[in-house]
Amino acid sequence: MRRVTAAPLVAAALGAVLTATPAQAHGGRPLGIENCTASACHFDVPPGTYDVTVRLGGAAASSTRVTGETRRSLLPETAVPAGEQVTRSFTVDVRTPEGEPTGPDGTPGLDLALDGSAPALAGIRVTPARHPRRIILIGDSTVCDQPADPYSGWGQQLPQYLRKGLAVANHADSGESTVTYLQNARLWGTVQPLIRPGDLVLVQLAHNDKTTDEATYRANLETLVAGVREKGGEPVLVTPIVRRWFNADGTLNNTTALLVNGLGVDHPAVIRSVAAAGHVPLIDLTARTKALVESLGVEGSKAVYLYNEKRDNTHTSVHGATLYAGLVRDELLALHLVPEGKVRVG
């Protein structure tokens, strides 16, 4: 897990790359570039939702990417020609614990890291977000903010596709099923009270429901949907990403790949049924990821998962999680759940 500590602005270290930006005060502390070094920023703020505006560029050609908190991708790598600057904005969720809900607390405040092939930060401004809309994620290890390389959940990569005013609050947790997520006070017992009217709540739980019977699985999904609606949120059911488990003919048409458990429960089918019966928007990520993995083939799909590193055909690499987050972004747009102006495309 990347941990970034606060540091004063040191002119000798930054050279002429950084120029001051008028700072907003929060509790008497500036929320500007004074809180940055050449490669990182730390803002001493309480949990909440914050708008971040960065100016990128410098005398030389640059290319900058912004990540934050527990390895979340907040801004994709952005190239700027020499002598020019561009402004980009995004909204970020700051919480404790900062990563997985059952994990360590992490570093207080908002931590950002600046990387890319030639990073150059010219200015930054952080302010509390006014009336942000949140995408709250409920899921397992294929969704969560993974603490360390080479792992990444698709929820960890989703923020880079969103613009200012739309934030991801990723409450997915490794190893969770519908049963354990509902039972754990640090999970559903904590998340449900946080839901506000207008929040989108995406639910992808299936990979760990290996011994959950169909009636229980269906009832658990219905409980989550009802609990989201009770708080004024909008539930969205998400079928699970496929496992990279090929048949001899190059397809993924088998129970392992398509998340049919040992009791014969077809998780994606049940999710689709619950969505249809309850008039719940559905993101069929099983179908979308199946089509993508099959199109890449046995060899090409290895880079999407952690096959090369861990012989792991369930968990995704940063590359794979980014591809899958892009599919979620596309479905959110297609279902008209988010406005086009709040989403980065291309």
Report yes or no: 73 and 153 within 8 Å, Cβ to Cβ.
no
CB burial class (10 A; 0-12, 13-18, 19+) of residue 12? exposed
pLDDT at 304 over 80: yes
Residues paired with 101 in a beta bridge = none
Q: Are strands 166-170 and 133-139 parallel, antiparallel or unpaired?
A: parallel
**What mean pLDDT comes out for the span 315-325?**
98
- What is the structure's pLDDT at 11? 28
Q: What percent of the chain has pLDDT over 90?
A: 90
Q: What angle do CA 108, 114, 118 make, to 5 degrees?
A: 170
pLDDT at 15 over 60: no
Q: What percent of the chain has pLDDT over 70?
A: 91
- What is the structure's pLDDT at 22? 35
- What is the structure's pLDDT at 19? 34
Helix (H, G, I), strand (E, B) or coil at 79: strand
pLDDT at 253 over 50: yes
- What is the structure's pLDDT at 217? 99
pLDDT at 20 over 60: no
CA atoms within 13 A on the CB side of 169: 25
**Between residues 126 and 4, the one the model is more confident about:** 126
Report yes or no: 85 and 57 within 8 Å, Cβ to Cβ.
yes
pLDDT at 10 over 60: no
- What is the structure's pLDDT at 18? 37
Residues paired with 121 in a beta bridge = 56
pLDDT at 133 over 70: yes
Terminal Cα-to-Cα distance of the chain (whole angstroms): 29
**What mean pLDDT comes out for the span 314-320?**
98
pLDDT at 21 over 80: no
Residues whose CB is less than 8 angstroms from the CB of residue 213 and which lie 6 or more positions away in sequence, other chains included: 263, 265
Helix (H, G, I), strand (E, B) or coil at 301: helix
CB burial class (10 A; 0-12, 13-18, 19+) of residue 131? exposed
**What mean pLDDT comes out for the span 317-332?**
98
Query: How many whole angstroms separate alpha carbon 237 and alpha carbon 205?
Result: 9
Query: How many whole angstroms separate alpha carbon 284 and alpha carbon 277?
Result: 15
CA 251 to chain centre: 28
Nearest by Cα to 142 from 325, 332, 345, 339: 325
Q: What is the mean pLDDT of the chain?
A: 92
Nearest by Cα to 250 from 319, 316, 314, 296: 296
- Quick one: which H or E segment has residue 116? strand 110-118
For residue 237, the one-letter residue type is L
